[in-house]
Amino acid sequence: MTSLSAYNQLLNHVKQTSALGQIAGVLSWDQEVMMPPNGASMRAEQMGALAVVSHAHQTDPRIGDWLDQIDEASLSNLEKSNTRLVRRSYQRSIKIPASLSEELARTTSHAQSIWAKARAANSYADFAPNLSKIVDLKRQEAKCLADSGANLYDALLNDFEPGMTTSVLQPLLENMRPRLTALREKIAESNHAQPTLTGPFDTDAQMKLARSFADVVGYNWDSGRLDLSVHPFSSGTGNDSRITTRVGADDPLDCLYSTLHELGHALYEQGLPQDVALEPICSYVSMGVHESQSRLWENKIGRSRAFCTWLWPRINEAFGAGTVTSADELYRIINRVETGFIRTESDEVHYNLHVLLRFELERDLISGSLEVADLETEWNRRFKRDFGISVPDAAHGALQDVHWSAGMFGYFPTYSLGNIYAAQLNDTLRKAAPDLDEEIAAGKTETALHWLRENIHQKGSLVEPDTLIEQVVGQKISAEPLLNYLEDKYSELFAL
């Protein structure tokens, strides 16, 4: 078999595997948005069965044979990237027993419904047995993946942020804590008046305005849809990139900015190079980079003064004249700072402290230095340390996020990586487009979207995430631009 023939057979096989992965994504979306509660047990069996089939595809011995027969010197850069990604996936997959893969899929699918009920009942004890099983399975998975003596958490982190290690991540995130807590304390001591919105706010009007957000940022409705769910999320890729949001009568901004956040994810997926659809390179490069897209749209653009200039009259049109008196008042409302318990509702100042808490807890769970039985108590202790307030109950503490029930250990730190990348990208974008604020104020985002398409989206997974960011911004990963942005913005807002 020639090198070219081996490559083509490899690619065809991988495309089939990618299609199976996309089916799993659609099933997960259906479970969150449309499936009745009694369907959870059957869906767990379906996900387990699909995991077996997918694992068989991912570990097919022919993949190793094809890789051995490929002469990489004869490949184009694109083909080399595809081969690199397949090799990494294959080497990972063959380390995981099919039985473990199946058990993880079945257990986590079932656990998500148990978690939802436990959160509704405000009972950590109702979920703890399932979480113990998941942590045990994830430790087993990490031991399969990690080299002898290597950090187990790194093995899980690598699934979401290839190449990232705890030795890099831990100081990067923990060194943010002093400046973030100092900023939080200065804002609290300022006693600066913060305007608010008063409801109720019509849910249909919220969804109509949320759809206008999608229109203004360039979301392709022919390749996506917007639905309601308990927890906003983005699913799918390319020509099937779906998003969900949530509504609440007391606060339309949660709906609007959850939508804008998920639109950032979906725009990335819709912008991937569709001429190589289902090939390994037609995929997001990492969850950190993925999050950078949502955070750039949600915060750097969506919470800017310029965007508030565009949004202000539309808020009044949607909810009644006088809902907000000026664009400046809207800017201050949207950028309120308040110490709270819920990560997804937190402001820019507090958000990364929420992520840091979760990173440190899940790192300790995987290492075995923290057991599930002690997680709630330890969560509450550390939260009081970082936020200065006591957690009132499990729903506002250890049960608030779906991620651990889904087995997504190693995912949380990518939220802060996304914020870090977004700040670096925002600085670079604004240097390339000095008139960006004027365009945003007029409801024109084509310049920003085109720049992201060219520099991030169309690159897919051609290079590793750290390389991609460095190529675009001209520097290695650094939290300095993010911390400077936060300090500058909120010092001005609160006259610090």
Give the bridge partners for 242, in sequence order: 235
- What is the four-CA torsion angle of 299, 447, 423, 217, rounded to 10 degrees? 30
**Strand 226-228 vs strand 240-245: parallel, antiparallel, or unpaired?**
parallel
The residue whose two tokens read 């008063």 is 198
Structure tokens at 494: 């609160």
Q: Is 190 exposed, middle or buried (0-12, 13-18, 19+ CB in 10 A)?
A: middle
Q: How many residues does the chain have?
A: 496
Rounded distance between C-alpha atoms, residue 263 and residue 269, angstroms: 10
Helix extents (H) in 94-158: 98-121, 124-145, 152-157
Q: Which 3 state secondary structure label does DSSP give 42?
A: helix
Angstrom distance (rounded) from CA 12 to CA 103: 28
Rounded CA gap, 414 and 411, in Å? Answer: 6
Residue linked to tokens 């009745």: 36
Chain centroid, CA 36 distance in Å: 26
* Three-state DSSP class for residue 219: coil
Q: In angstroms, rounded to a whole number, what is the distance separating the alpha carbons of residues 118 and 126?
A: 5
- Which residues are designated catalytic? 262
Bridge partners of 228, per DSSP, are 245
The Cα–Cα gap between 423 and 419 comes to 6
Q: Which helix (H) or strand (E) holds 259?
A: helix 252-270
Task: Please compute Rg for the chain using Cα positions.
Answer: 23
DSSP 8-state code for residue 192: -
DSSP single-letter state for residue 298 = I
**No. of helices (H) and no. of strands (E), the chain:** 21, 3
